[in-house]
Structure 1
Amino acid sequence: MRSDWQGGPRRIFLAGDSAAVTREASKAPMTGWGQVLHFFLSSQEVEIVNCARAGASARTFSERGRLDWILRHIRPGDYLFTSFGINDAKPEEWLRTEAYGDFPHHLRKFVDGARERNAHPVLISPPERDTHDVHGNMPRSITEYPMAMRDLAAECSVPYIDLYGQSHSWWEGLGPEGVRPFFIHLEPQEHPNYPEGFHDPGHMTPQGAIACARYVAYALVEQRIVPPHWAINLDRADFPPEWVTWLDEETHAELTKSRTLGSN
């Protein structure tokens, strides 16, 4: 796709859940892959507008007016990256969607809404959690949702990035101990935000988020979703810790409140 827009950088709007969200400082070191995606895409070519919301499913993101906000602001030639499935699989009735029921129905709203505005939809499955059991096996947690997303992408001729499959292979290959640095495993007094310690196999550290963001950027180039010259740092081994930043509480609250046309 050519980058011939003359009104400034193209924009990538990111709709997703806590795996992709830009975290506030009080949640550090939790990091979403959308929070560090700019490490791999030139700011001269593209601006990332991360609208992902912790706790969102494809259903609630749409119902609460967050998709409407994106569609009001998106321009021809922009991109809409959509990544859901983790919360859609949860049992709460108000949150849940069925993988081969209303989940693809809600995803279609993102695809159709972008296309109606001459923007480019891209579907991205969410990363796998650290699901290792006591025997060192790693079962898949949301198999049907990435499959349903892949099938919808094929049906609608939409680019699909299988972050779920790739991350599952990574985490499984690393094993229970090797994958620990990619997820939140904090001992007491190890981090000021969690003085009593905190273990969360569902949310990533900067290391995990960077790995996922790098893969998304690689796939964007490999599938020719974006021009190759947009990509930067794809082969860079390490990033200075200070490059990873979190939003201050006021800014995070304001963005959460403002990026919706709904009542919540």
Structure 2
Amino acid sequence: MSLTRRQIGAAGVLAAATVAAGAGTATAAFAAGGGRHPGRTLFIAGDSTAAQKYADAAPETGWGMALPFFLGRGLTVANHAVNGRSSKSFLDEGRLDAILRVIAPGDLLLIQFGHNDSKSTDPTRYTEPWSTYQECLRHYVDGARAAGARPVCATSVERRRFDEAGRAVPTHGEYPAAMRELAAEQRVPLLDTQALSLELWDKLGAEPAKAYFNWTPEKQDNTHFNPLGAIEVARMAAGELLRTRVLAPRELRRLDDEIPASWITWPTAPAS
């Protein structure tokens, strides 16, 4: 059953408010304020690697669930990322519109797509890296800027894939390069989480890297994260927000601290 725009917006609000106590977000103020926290909001538009997960999916964890642990109290995450979406399908379903209705001047729109854009057998999701993918990304950039918010691009986090020599290999084709080009052309800050995650998996090695993914011998999920993986990818994103000067040092915290996996919680899924 398709969601109305009102339902889509409500789902994003619930995802933003549902974080562990250690994140330090003001959920009561969020509800009282009609869907906005005091201070600035960082909206996430993305796919399943970033999305809020619910109790029926635990221990699968989107990195957007862990990002609040690294942000100061004046910043709140509104996680609108949804499983299975590409830059195109997210647009076509009105999900960007739902964000643009509530985003405000000074807010941030973090854009991470690419995992599902490459599904060439699915016309509802497929985009071509150097044409339709970049065209879709421009809608996010232009929409954020028109609302007075700041767009931020993030390359897709790498899957766990290794070659016969035991080296981590990229899996996203030309999409990261296409996003890098678009970000440079549009003068949008770029969080290169694809390069950083590839470097981390390579450093860890094939077997140790499993500890960061929702991997079991039965499931063998090399794409989605468990709490440990989500926390480390969120740390990468937060570090990139600092490196690119999107956020100031005072707006971040715990970048070098160990974050307990117990801070991750999985709420009951909202009624459809």
Q: Same fold (TM over 0.5)?
A: yes
Give the aligned residue type for 2:186: C
Give the aligned residue type for 1:80: L
Which residue does the alignment assign to 1:37? 67
Q: How far off its partner does 1:137 sit?
A: 3.6
Which of residues 52, 66, 72 in structure 1 aligns to 2:101?
A: 72
The 5 Å alignment of 1:32-181 reads: 32-42=62-72, 44-91=73-120, 92-181=122-211
Provide the C-alpha distance between the structure 2 equivalents of 1:157 and 1:37, rounded to a whole number of angstroms. Answer: 24
**Residue 242 in 1 paired to residue 272 in 2?**
no
Give the aligned residue type for 2:235: R
Q: Cα RMSD over matched residues?
A: 1.4
CA deviations over 1:238-257 (Å, ceiling 9, x no partner):
2233210112122xx55xxx
Give the aligned residue type for 1:243: W
Provide the C-alpha distance between the structure 2 equivalents of 1:128 and 1:95, rounded to a whole number of angstroms. Answer: 19
CA deviations over 1:185-238 (Å, ceiling 9, x no partner):
225xxxxxxxxx4221111111111111001111111221012111011110x2
Give the aligned residue type for 2:191: I
Give the aligned residue type for 2:256: D
Which of residues 199, 204, 210 in structure 1 aligns to 2:220?
A: 199
Provide the C-alpha distance between the structure 2 equivalents of 1:51 and 1:202, rounded to a whole number of angstroms. Answer: 19
- For structure 2, the 5+ residue unaligned runs are 1-36
Q: Secondary structure at the match of 2:221?
A: strand
Provide the C-alpha distance between the structure 1 equivalents of 2:64 and 2:261, rounded to a whole number of angstroms. Answer: 17
Q: How far off its partner does 1:156 sit?
A: 0.4
Q: Secondary structure at the match of 1:15?
A: strand
Moved over 4 A (4+): none
Q: TM-score, normalised by structure 2?
A: 0.83
**Contact 1:127–1:164, Cα closer than 8 Å, also in 2:** yes
**Contact 2:212–2:225, Cα closer than 8 Å, also in 1:** yes
Question: More relative contact order in 1 or in 2 (CA 8 Å, sep 6+)?
Answer: 1
Provide the C-alpha distance between the structure 2 equivalents of 1:184 and 1:134, rounded to a whole number of angstroms. Answer: 22
Q: TM-score, normalised by structure 1?
A: 0.86
Q: Secondary structure at the match of 2:68?
A: helix
- For structure 1, the 5+ residue unaligned runs are 1-6, 188-196, 255-264
Provide the C-alpha distance between the structure 2 equivalents of 1:232 and 1:138, rounded to a whole number of angstroms. Answer: 30
CA deviations over 1:163-192 (Å, ceiling 9, x no partner):
0011011111211112010112225xxxxx
**Residue 224 in 1 paired to residue 245 in 2?**
yes
Identity %: 40
Give the aligned residue type for 2:141: V
More strand by percentage: 1
**Residue 233 in 1 paired to residue 262 in 2?**
no
Aligned residues: 235
**Contact 2:161–2:171, Cα closer than 8 Å, also in 1:** yes
Q: Secondary structure at the match of 2:214?
A: strand
Provide the C-alpha distance between the structure 1 equivalents of 2:93 and 2:244, rounded to a whole number of angstroms. Answer: 32
Which residue does the alignment assign to 1:259? none
Q: Secondary structure at the match of 1:73?
A: coil
Provide the C-alpha distance between the structure 1 equivalents of 2:178 and 2:235, rounded to a whole number of angstroms. Answer: 24
